[in-house]
Amino acid sequence: MYQKIKGTYDLLPNDTKKWQSLEKTIRSVSKIYNYEEIRTPIFENTELFHRSVGEETDIVSKETYDFIDRGKRHITLRPEGTAPVARSYIENKLYADKLPVKKLYYMGPMFRYERPQKGRYRQFAQFGAEAFGSTSPLLDAEIISYAVSVIKALKIKDVEVHVNSIGDQESKVMYKEALIAYLEKDVQTLCSDCQKRFETNPLRILDCKVDKDTELLKNAPKPLDYLNEESKTHFNKLLAYLDAMEIKYVIDRNLVRGLDYYTHTVFEVNANLETLGAQNTICGGGRYNHLVSSLGGPDIPGVGFAFGLERLMFALESVNFKGTPDYLHLYLMILGEEQKEDGIRLLNRCRIGGLFSDIDFLDKNLKAQFKLADNMNARFIAIYGANEKAKGEINVKDKDTGKEITIKSSQLYNHIITELMNPNHSCETCEEDSCDDCE
Ligand code: HAM
C-alpha cells in the first residue's frame, strides 16, 4: 500500500470544508483592504530563490526541493511566495499598471524540507500579501493591519504582534559589523548552528532558539541601536500609525527574520494557544526595498506578510471554528425505476436554477433515504413516486418549518425558491434571519 510522503497530509472532506470557510474569510478581508489575487507557478528557476531569499538562509541552504528537469533546467518547488510574486510583478510589468501601488495576495502550497512536527510540514499552505510601489511606513502599517484584521475576522484571540526594524542597507551593514565585533571572541560558546551563522548570516544568531537566553546574546547589540536617521524615522512613523489604528504590538528587539531580502520593518504574529504546540508563529512579514531591483526589475520597494494556513487551522480549533455548515437545498427521492427519467428532469431543472440538490444512487428504501437526506442536512425533501408521477405532482417537506405539501411537479423549483426567499424564515443552523450561507 502506498503512503503519503513524510511531512505531507491529506485534507479529507470534513477538513476541506473548514479550509474553504477559512479561505472565504481571507478573501473577504482581502477585498476590504483592496488586495487582488495573484497565482504564480508552484515551481520556479532555482536561481530566483538564491538571489532573493538568500544563499545562506536556512530555507535556501537546507530546505529547498530542487530538481533538474528533462531540459536540464534547475528547478525549485517554491519554498515561499514573495520571490515568485516579485518575479511575476517584474516579468508582467505590473509596475506600469494604472495603480501605482500594486496590492496582491495569494494562497497556495509551499515546500520546505524541514523536520516535520505539528504545525511544520514539508508541503504547507500560505496565505500571503505583497504590496509594491511605496516606501511609506503607512503601507507597512496597512500590511500589519490587514494581517491583524484576518486574525480578528477569524475570532482568534491571544495573539501578539512583534515588530522590529533592521533598518535600511546602510544600517544593516553598520549593525552587522557591530555584532561581529561583539561576538568574535566568544563565538565558540554558541551552538554549532550559530557558529556557522557567524560566518554566513550573523544576523540570524540574534533569534537563535538555542542561544537566545544566554548572557552573551542578551547583551548583544540590537539592530534598533544601529538605525540611521532615515530608518529611525521610518520605524517611529510606523509605530505612530499602528497606534492610530489601535493595533497592539510589542517591540521585539531580537526579531530579525530568516530571509535576506528584508529592510526596515520586520514583524511576526504569535498566537499563545495550546492547539498550536511549539510552532506558534502564525504570520511573518516585513519590508523589502531592494528585492525587485535585485531580481532585475526597477527600483521599486515592497512590503508583505505570509500566514501558515495549517497553523491558522490549529489556532481555529481553540475558538471552536466549525466552518460553514454543510447543507443541501433539496434532497429528491425518486421512487421506482419508471420515475427516474422524469425525476432527473426535475432534479436537473433545480440544479440549473442553482439549488444545491442531490439524490440516491443505490436504490435505497424510503427509510434509508430519509436518513441520507438528514445526513446531507437537506432543508427540502421531495418525494416523487408512481402516484405523484401519475398525477403530475410532487410531495415536498420543509424540514425547517415542518410544512408538507403536494404541488404540481413543474412547480418544484419555483416553490423551493419562493420558500428560500421568505424573509421570515430564521435559519436554524446559524440562528440568523435570511443568512447568506443558508439562503
Ligand atoms: P516565513 O516566516 O518563512 O516568511 O513563513 C511565513 C509563515 O509560514 C510562518 O510564520 C509559518 O506560519 C508558515 N510556515 C513556514 N514554514 C512552514 C512549515 N514548514 N510548515 C507550516 N507552516 C510554515 C515567508 O515565507 C515570507 N515570504 C513572508 C513575507 C511575505 N515577507 C514579506 N512578504
Among candidate residues 263, 287, 319, the one where a domain is terminated: 319
Number of domains in the chain: 2
pLDDT in tens, 173-208: 999 999 999 999 999 999 998 998 899 889 889 888
Please give the number of the atom of ligand 1 that sits closest to the Cα of 283. Answer: 10
pLDDT at 209: 82
Q: Is 262 in the pocket of ligand 1 (CB under 6 A)?
A: no
151 and 263 co-located in one domain: yes
**pLDDT band with cut points at 50, 70 and 90 for residue 430:** very low
**What spacing in Å lies between the alpha carbon of 212 and ligand 1's midpoint?**
21
pLDDT in tens, 376-413: 999 999 999 999 999 999 999 999 999 999 999 999 99
pLDDT at 323: 75
Among candidate residues 252, 287, 319, the one where a domain is terminated: 319
366 and 391 co-located in one domain: yes
347 and 315 co-located in one domain: no
5/14 Cα distance (integer angstroms):
21
Is the model's pLDDT at 14 over the cut of 70?
Answer: yes
Q: Please give the average per-residue pLDDT across 363-374, as a whole number.
A: 95
Domain enclosing residue 378, as ranges: 328-421
Please give the number of the atom of ligand 1 that sits closest to the Cα of 311. Answer: 12
Whole-structure pTM over 0.75, yes or no?
yes
Q: Is the dihedral of CA 202, 206, 212, 217 positive or negative?
A: positive
264 and 407 co-located in one domain: no
pLDDT in tens, 341-356: 999 999 999 999 999 9
Task: List the residue whose alpha carbon is closest to atom 31 of ligand 1.
Answer: 285
Question: What residue ranges in 166-280 does DSSP mark as E strands?
Answer: 250-251, 263-271
* DSSP conformation class of 126: E
Residue 428 inside a domain? The answer is no
Mean pLDDT of the chain: 93
Residue 211 inside a domain? The answer is no
Closest alpha carbon to 281 in 253, 314, 303: 314
pLDDT at 148: 97
Cell matching residue 155: 475570532
66 and 107 co-located in one domain: yes
**pLDDT band with cut points at 50, 70 and 90 for residue 128:** very high
Q: Is 311 in the pocket of ligand 1 (CB under 6 A)?
A: yes
pLDDT in tens, 262-304: 999 999 999 998 888 889 999 999 999 999 999 999 999 999 9
pLDDT in tens, 106-122: 999 999 999 999 999 99
59 and 134 co-located in one domain: yes
* DSSP conformation class of 31: H
Task: List the residue whose alpha carbon is closest to atom 18 of ligand 1.
Answer: 120
Q: Is 283 in the pocket of ligand 1 (CB under 6 A)?
A: yes
408 and 260 co-located in one domain: no
233 and 361 co-located in one domain: no
142 and 41 co-located in one domain: yes
Residue 431 inside a domain? The answer is no
